[in-house]
Amino acid sequence: MLPQNTQPPAPAPDQFDFMLKDQPKPPGRFGTLLSDVPKPAKILLLVVGALFIIVILYALFFGGKKTNTDQLTSVMASAQEISRVSSMAQLQAKDTTTKDLAATTATVLSSQKQELRSYLISKKVKVDTKKLAARLNKSTDAKLATALQNNNYDQTYFSYLKTSLINYQASLNAANKGASLKIQAILKADYTSIQTLLTASQLK
């Protein structure tokens, strides 16, 4: 009699393959929401999302770098008025050093105003002449006229000039905040020039 085979029968091929294979993962919440959305619509959503991110990044990095026309116009108006008064002082002052300081101041401020004007024109910005005249102060003329009669013209002009230049520097600083790199360079150079004027012995 032949011995009986005690070995268990071999399992049929692929009988337990389902245990070894990776089971499909259930779709996430986002996948469930988009499962019924057509493919073209999904692509459109991705494009819109990408554009939204680009807009946000642009606003964060470049949104504050704009040309503040009103502030620059205000700076120009101040420069124009200081230049006007200094030109008048150049003619009316008796002391030669006062005339020289007034002439230098008038030239510097007029040049700064013109440079800012050229910048705005290059940006296709129209400069409002009425806003440029906003700083015109006829009371300054009256004070200088009275000082001329009282023989204290120079000191009156020096007092006006020092206060006006300090205020002008403050307006340069205000316009510099958030401005483009090009206009910042212009305003910083203007500030330095005004600081040099303020070192004049008559203004100390």
User: 106 pLDDT exceeds 90?
Assistant: yes
> Interior CA angle at 182 toward 105 and 195, to 5°?
30
Lowest mean pLDDT: which of 10-14, 116-120, 163-167? 10-14
* Average pLDDT in the chain: 82
SS (H, E, C) 9-54: CCCCCCCCHHHHCCCCCCCCHHHHHHCCCCHHHHHHHHHHHHHHHH
Rounded mean pLDDT of 45-53?
Answer: 60
For the stretch 69-103, pLDDT in tens is 999 999 999 999 999 999 999 999 999 999 999 99
Round to whole Å and give the CA distance between 72 and 117.
9
Residue spans of the domains in the chain: they are: 69-203
> What pLDDT is recorded for position 87?
98
What is the pLDDT confidence band of residue 21, given thresholds at 50, 70 and 90?
low
> What pLDDT is recorded for position 74?
96
> What pLDDT is recorded for position 59?
42
User: 58 pLDDT exceeds 80?
Assistant: no
> What pLDDT is recorded for position 67?
59
For the stretch 152-194, pLDDT in tens is 999 999 999 999 999 999 999 999 998 999 999 999 999 999 9
Rounded mean pLDDT of 114-133?
Answer: 94
* pTM for the structure as a whole: 0.69
Share of the chain above pLDDT 70, in %: 67
Round to whole Å and give the CA distance between 182 and 23.
61
> Interior CA angle at 58 toward 73 and 124, to 5°?
30
Name the amino acid, one letter, at 97.
T
User: 55 pLDDT exceeds 80?
Assistant: no
| Whether domain 69-203 has CATH 1.20.1260 | yes
